[in-house]
Structure 1
Amino acid sequence: MNAGAGLTGRTGRTQVFEVSTLYGAATLAAALDAGMFEPGRRVLLVTNNAAVPEAAATLDEMTGWAAIAARFDTVVDWNETVFPNHPSLWAPPETDTAAWQRLLRVAWDLGNGPLDLVVESVHAKPAAALAEIFADADVHVYADGLMSYGPTRERLLWPTACRVQRLLHLDLLPGLTPLLLSEFGAPAEIVPDAAFRAVLDEISGACAEPAVARRVPGERTAVILGQYLAALNILSAAQEEGLHERMLRGAARAGCAHVVFKPHPTAPAQYSKALEKAAADAGVRLTVLDTPMLAETVFDRVGPDLVVGCFSTAMLTASVYYGIPIARVGTDLVLGRLRPFQNSNRVPVSLVDAYVPDIEALTGGLETLPGTPEDAGAALGALVRVLGYTMQPRMHAPLRGGAEQWLAEHQGGLAARYVRRSKLTALALPGGFASGVAGQMPGRRAALRLVRKVRARTVGKS
């Protein structure tokens, strides 16, 4: 990968920006353009976290990558640095971190001065490994998706947690404050909408084709988004294939005669083949995109009348930054499949389920699709806090009181949809088995053990 042009000679703190997606890189570019980082030497550290990196599209193959990379003095490849180790698995032994820092400071020309480390998913590798290696660096975390609204996946070790300066995030659900890293008091800062949209336009402008899919005048077009959930072991390949077919049929029922399928970059080819038959059966024209590009480039170039997905962040981007109607499919299926309960996808799925209309519930055409409420962010805040507490009760113990109130008010409805009864029982919350009895008995732990035994016997007899 090549260094950015014309950026040498900067003074100030050296900054290392870790990215694994073009969307994340666009978020960082927007933050830079908005002046959210002081001037300094900027190193873009690219990592490919796919299960088989050699078989996945690389960032420099993505449409618009060159414009993003030009903002940095140097672009370096983390996969090459740690080869033959996988970047999502490797971390140096604790005794070797100081040696690795000296090595990388020389190899990447970082100097010996203060360092800012800007990473995504600081609790997971490779970001966690980088935070260990650069043990004296200030850590800035950026989130480019809906996961920023959920709790931190697992408690950070204090040597890293005490260095987290802030969380940068997109305002995908206006009015909703992210829960990520809030347990450490890290302030959440919004990357300005105008700056991010300008970067998206810059990326789209790099697309060589005037239109990525041919439109017929007067013909309604929908874009459906693949996520490749089978790779995460959330759905089977057959279930995900069926999900795409449901998206297509829903778009057809809404009156769209043309459907553009934007697959995940690592999706298997048979997904497209299955959709071809579904499109023929539904009587719609299908375009499958095989050029690696952002979904947002498709939105800009196609100008669709509708975007349909499961819980892809790109759905919210379509609504917030492009004003395109959005609809969901299959969130109930995914909610039932997520394991364990603290799976970090739970909050994104729940938010889309609660916020985005279900296209399969439409009784008419596209004009009957409900709009997304403008004040939804505030309303969704209570749900996020409930999920944050039930997913990470020790980390977010102060949220228990609000969770109890919300669950008591929504028993049998929303509470049952988003929080399993077994989880409510284990935490002695409203809606759980004999939660009222458990809450009144002396010795909370003993009471909970008794409740679990009674519940097990009851289930065994039924």
Structure 2
Amino acid sequence: MTQLFYASTLFGAMTLAAAIGDGRFGSRGGRRILLVSNNAAIPEITPPLDEAPGFAALRPLFDEVRSWNDIVAPLHPSDWKARVIEVPMLGRLLRSHLSLDDGPDELVLESIAVPPSRTLAGLVRDCPITVYSDGLMSYGPTRDPLPEEISGRITRLLHLDLVPGLSPLLLSEYGVRAEALPDRAFLDVVERGGVAGQGMDGLPAGAPMILGQYLSALDIVTPEEEAGLHAEMLRGLAARGAETVLFKPHPAGGRRHAQRLRETAGELGVELAVVGEAVPAESCFAALRPALVTGCFSTALVTAGRCFGLPVATVGGELVLERLTPYENSNRVPATIADALLPRLSADGSLEGPPPVDLPALVGAVGYCMQSEVYPGMRQATAAYLDAHGPARYFKRQRLAALGLLPAAAVQEPGTLERLRRRLSRALP
């Protein structure tokens, strides 16, 4: 039996290791091949996950580790996909290159709706597919429709139970069952597998931590606004008495964020300790036990609180929710969950808990508004939520108006119709 796994991040590889350790892929009776991909904007200058500190502890789980970047070079793995006429030939070439013969017997992928996973699913046919979740995005709708040739082969969705009581919406329209991995399986990988502590020599234990993302690279905010968010986080931590702050850049974020944050740290008289880009945040949580972890809407914020019991806080949720376009943007549900679930850190150092919310109802309503044609059965519950709580913060009035879901009270607010008319007039050619 041959199993072909795909991963693009060390967090993904650790999730696979947790699933393997929990017996979700059976006993090791055949070949296990891990195909790794570096999807950074410039992969040539960004270390791949199999060179990251801590990967050596995961390496023995697989018989072979191969590079998807090497296979498709010089093309970028996130952009390249086979033309329809090329699929049969390239599929045979890939199976030959990986010595798969007539296999594999199972294909294990992340982020199934986009390349490289979608490309691999189209090339490696005639086998069942397991999808494992990419963090908080599993609670949102499937980003793009999948062809029957792919959706019909997906047998299950493996995910970390990051938000207890919240069921993944991802792939639910195809009848795919969701299976939660136990927290202990993931923690065993981080704490006992040798991942924790790798690449953290000289970093202070107990210092609060800022989690970087790459929001400007995704055109969610401008580079100046993203730098401003990091500065606001740093000011908030400094106001709480922090003399040293850890900054964990996102692997795809580059070094510019740390460089700009150092300037703010100098102005505040705070020492900034920068964690290596390739070191997973979860390893820092286990080894350094930060006093407070803050960020925008990173999945790592939730894992810090849920899996490691650390205090967490968000910054910039309202800005991000306003800027996300289109409304279907797959980051919307992660941003909604973080903003609605976690305390908020202000520049003066105060922490404010979020207002009480029915999180499953909220996430379901947002998911419906993102992909209403896919989940028609959720319309009534969405309308009930909006009637009870209104459209503030998490919903765009123009989207609700287009769906016929704008609550009557909101329509009657002074100026609402006029604002809608102006927005619609600007949108029309």
TM-score (norm 1): 0.85
| Residues 14, 346 of structure 1: alpha-carbon distance in 2 compared, 3 angstrom cutoff | same
Q: Which residue of 1 aligns with 2:150?
A: 160
Aligned pair partner of 2:67 in 77, 80, 95: 77
Q: Which residue of 1 aligns with 2:244?
A: 258
Q: Which residue of 2 aligns with 1:7?
A: none
Q: Is the 8 A contact 1:318 1:324 kept in 2?
A: yes
Question: One-letter code of the match for 1:207?
Answer: Q
| Residues 84, 143 of structure 1: alpha-carbon distance in 2 compared, 3 angstrom cutoff | same
Q: Which residue of 1 aligns with 2:333?
A: 347
Q: Which residue of 1 aligns with 2:308?
A: 322
Residue 159 of structure 1: CA displacement?
A: 1.3
Q: Which residue of 2 aligns with 1:279?
A: 265
Q: Is 1:35 the equivalent of 2:35?
A: no
* CA distance in 2: counterparts of 1:223 and 1:311, whole angstroms: 14
Aligned pair partner of 2:402 in 402, 422, 426: 426
Q: Which residue of 2 aligns with 1:456?
A: 421
| Residues 51, 418 of structure 1: alpha-carbon distance in 2 compared, 3 angstrom cutoff | same
* CA distance in 1: counterparts of 2:314 and 2:167, whole angstroms: 23
Q: Is the 8 A contact 1:150 1:344 kept in 2?
A: yes
Residue 19 of structure 1: CA displacement?
A: 0.5
- 2:216 match: secondary structure: helix
Q: Is 1:304 the equivalent of 2:290?
A: yes
- 2:58 match: secondary structure: helix
* CA distance in 2: counterparts of 1:68 and 1:150, whole angstroms: 29
Question: One-letter code of the match for 1:354?
Answer: A
- 2:300 match: secondary structure: helix
| Residues 250, 361 of structure 1: alpha-carbon distance in 2 compared, 3 angstrom cutoff | closer
Residue 258 of structure 1: CA displacement?
A: 1.8
Q: Which residue of 2 aligns with 1:185?
A: 175
Q: Which residue of 1 aligns with 2:10?
A: 22
* CA distance in 1: counterparts of 2:365 and 2:158, whole angstroms: 23
| Residues 14, 416 of structure 1: alpha-carbon distance in 2 compared, 3 angstrom cutoff | same
| Residues 460, 398 of structure 1: alpha-carbon distance in 2 compared, 3 angstrom cutoff | closer
Q: Which residue of 2 aligns with 1:6?
A: none
CA shift digits 1:261-298 (9 cap, x unpaired): 11122434342233223223333322122362111121
* CA distance in 1: counterparts of 2:411 and 2:257, whole angstroms: 45
| Residues 460, 81 of structure 1: alpha-carbon distance in 2 compared, 3 angstrom cutoff | closer
CA shift digits 1:115-168 (9 cap, x unpaired): 211111111111111111122121111113100000001111111111110111
Question: One-letter code of the match for 1:404?
Answer: A
| Residues 372, 107 of structure 1: alpha-carbon distance in 2 compared, 3 angstrom cutoff | farther
Q: Is 1:406 the equivalent of 2:365?
A: no
Alignment of 1:82-121 (within 5 A): 82-113=72-103, 115-121=105-111
- 1:214 match: secondary structure: coil
Q: Is the 8 A contact 1:425 1:432 kept in 2?
A: no
Question: One-letter code of the match for 1:41?
Answer: R
Aligned pair partner of 2:360 in 359, 378, 381: 381
Question: One-letter code of the match for 1:265?
Answer: P
* CA distance in 2: counterparts of 1:279 and 1:132, whole angstroms: 48
Aligned pair partner of 1:395 in 374, 379, 395: 374
Question: One-letter code of the match for 1:77?
Answer: S
Q: Which residue of 2 aligns with 1:56?
A: 46
Residue 246 of structure 1: CA displacement?
A: 0.7
Q: Is the 8 A contact 1:425 1:433 kept in 2?
A: no
Q: Which residue of 2 aligns with 1:140?
A: 130
* CA distance in 1: counterparts of 2:388 and 2:87, whole angstroms: 50
- 1:35 match: secondary structure: coil
* CA distance in 2: counterparts of 1:243 and 1:407, whole angstroms: 30
| Residues 51, 274 of structure 1: alpha-carbon distance in 2 compared, 3 angstrom cutoff | closer
Residue 402 of structure 1: CA displacement?
A: 0.1
Q: Is 1:207 the equivalent of 2:183?
A: no
CA shift digits 1:21-51 (9 cap, x unpaired): 0000000010001000123321101111112
Residue 401 of structure 1: CA displacement?
A: 0.3
| Residues 323, 108 of structure 1: alpha-carbon distance in 2 compared, 3 angstrom cutoff | same
| Residues 138, 435 of structure 1: alpha-carbon distance in 2 compared, 3 angstrom cutoff | farther
* CA distance in 2: counterparts of 1:336 and 1:212, whole angstroms: 39
- 1:231 match: secondary structure: coil
Range 286-295 or range 224-233, more displaced? 286-295
| Residues 383, 72 of structure 1: alpha-carbon distance in 2 compared, 3 angstrom cutoff | same
Q: Is the 8 A contact 2:313 2:342 kept in 1?
A: yes
Q: Which residue of 2 aligns with 1:230?
A: 216
Residue 435 of structure 1: CA displacement?
A: 6.7
Unaligned runs of 5+ in 2: none
Q: Is the 8 A contact 1:47 1:79 kept in 2?
A: yes
Q: Is 1:150 the equivalent of 2:129?
A: no
Q: Is the 8 A contact 2:246 2:275 kept in 1?
A: yes
Range 267-276 or range 328-337, more displaced? 267-276
| Residues 457, 126 of structure 1: alpha-carbon distance in 2 compared, 3 angstrom cutoff | closer
Question: One-letter code of the match for 1:391?
Answer: M
| Residues 362, 323 of structure 1: alpha-carbon distance in 2 compared, 3 angstrom cutoff | farther
| Residues 49, 454 of structure 1: alpha-carbon distance in 2 compared, 3 angstrom cutoff | closer
Question: One-letter code of the match for 1:422?
Answer: Q
- 1:418 match: secondary structure: coil
CA RMSD after TM alignment:
2.6
Residue 300 of structure 1: CA displacement?
A: 2.0
Range 106-115 or range 169-178, more displaced? 106-115
Unaligned runs of 5+ in 1: 1-12, 437-450
* CA distance in 2: counterparts of 1:120 and 1:459, whole angstroms: 37
| Residues 91, 433 of structure 1: alpha-carbon distance in 2 compared, 3 angstrom cutoff | farther
- 1:70 match: secondary structure: helix
Q: Which residue of 2 aligns with 1:4?
A: none
| Residues 246, 96 of structure 1: alpha-carbon distance in 2 compared, 3 angstrom cutoff | same
Q: Runs in 1 of length 4+ with deviation above 4 angstroms?
A: 361-364, 368-373, 432-436, 451-455, 457-461
Q: Percent identity?
A: 44
Residue 459 of structure 1: CA displacement?
A: 7.8
Range 268-277 or range 175-184, more displaced? 268-277
Q: Is the 8 A contact 1:46 1:75 kept in 2?
A: yes
